[in-house]
Structure 1
């Protein structure tokens, strides 16, 4: 049923009331979801590898690295400037990469949605999460979707990117939230 995960109804009557009030919405949602499942794709970045790749590919960064002073004090400040340039280039690169991955995967999905980026503590991984999306994929499109994930993973592996696809999940992220307007339903 399309309500927020963990929703608790105080009584059967409150549950029945929600079902009656939202009967048409629930029916439309179930019709839309028929033959489809949710798949999640998370992207993780090895910052050390990515920073090296970004720096090596940027002529301006390479020029600054080549022109560093022999003086330790001056060199320190020059390195700070290079680090800031790499940070900026990395942010731009990540935005472009995630856009490319999203575009490649969305062609195989009925719908897609962005999900919260999780910390390393939550993921249990040392790599930084840079991508977290849910995809509603029809059964017929599933092989193409998985092939696209594998293709994108292979294309970006050398850059320090790992893609992790999980599912199928119940399509929670593609259901209307009926509990938001229900004063007697709490989570």
Structure 2
């Protein structure tokens, strides 16, 4: 029986000649990963038993066995990370599986020129992720003391009669909440603008909730930068300067990478 093909990604053929693929376990934890030549590229793959990894069997596993799913997702992630550390890589999403090599070739054929261009564009470049967190209460304290809008409202209330002053004071909390969101948005956009000057491309992603981050602070920014390797240290230095200037206002900047270039090698 012909094996299914699990696809991890594509790397340039010339890079495997000078740096052969190391021995790595495949998705089934039995066989090994190997490469399949595709024009001037190499597809990094492993073989899978169709009886164990058919579409029906995979659906059953992913829906009913979270431990298996987590284990396999970690395998894919670690394999992609290892490949990314050794080669220029177009990474593929988790569980990209073909019925056989012919199906793989048929899919790649109309896209191979674009893929080669993508690989060329990825050389000597890295993807980095920035997440910004904010301690809302700390920033609120800062805003309530130094915001011109809040100060103006307080002065306005001071001129009112005691009865009206009581009701108007309740509006201060709502105003502080509004100013908080404006301040977070403005600061994050300014940070992004300053870091983006070092990047070839950048994209802003959806923020994660606290259940996903496991942190007490709110995530208020999530962006990804595509950088030439020589620009990475400059971006890091700039980020440290920015973080130091904001440390008393409740902001934490978390830069991580290099990551496989998922956001800048998408072939749709």
TM-score (norm 1): 0.84
2:115/2:267 contact within 8 Å kept? no
**Structure-1 separation of matches of 2:103 and 2:204:** 31
| Rg (Cα) greater in structure | 2
Shift of 1:166: 0.6
Matched, 1:56 2:175: no
User: Residue in 1 aligned with 2:255?
Assistant: 165
Matches within 5 A, 1:143-158: 143-158=233-248
1:45/1:128 contact within 8 Å kept? yes
The Cα offsets for residues 5-33 of structure 1, whole Å up to 9 and x where unpaired, read as 22422313332222212101111111111
Shift of 1:40: 0.4
2:136/2:180 contact within 8 Å kept? no
**Structure-2 separation of matches of 1:107 and 1:120:** 30
User: Residue in 1 aligned with 2:232?
Assistant: 142
2:91/2:261 contact within 8 Å kept? no
Shift of 1:141: 0.7
Shift of 1:65: 4.2
Structure 1 counterpart of 2:201, from 104, 111, 116: 111
Secondary structure, counterpart of 1:100 in structure 2: helix
Question: For structure 1, which runs of at least 5 residues remain unmatched after alignment?
Answer: 179-187
**Structure-1 separation of matches of 2:154 and 2:92:** 52
User: Residue in 2 aligned with 1:5?
Assistant: 93
Shift of 1:3: 6.4
Tell me the number of residue pairs that the alignment of Structure 1 and Structure 2 aligns: 176
Matched, 1:98 2:98: no
1:4/1:177 contact within 8 Å kept? no
The Cα offsets for residues 38-83 of structure 1, whole Å up to 9 and x where unpaired, read as 1101000000011111121223423544647867x963x4343111
**Structure-1 separation of matches of 2:205 and 2:227:** 16
1:47/1:160 contact within 8 Å kept? yes
Secondary structure, counterpart of 1:22 in structure 2: helix
User: Residue in 2 aligned with 1:82?
Assistant: 172
RMSD: 2.1
Structure 2 counterpart of 1:47, from 117, 136, 140: 136
1:43/1:132 contact within 8 Å kept? yes
Query: Which moves more between the two structures, 157-166 or 12-21?
Result: 12-21
Question: For structure 2, which runs of at least 5 residues remain unmatched after alignment?
Answer: 1-8, 10-89
Shift of 1:99: 1.5
**Structure-2 separation of matches of 1:127 and 1:109:** 27
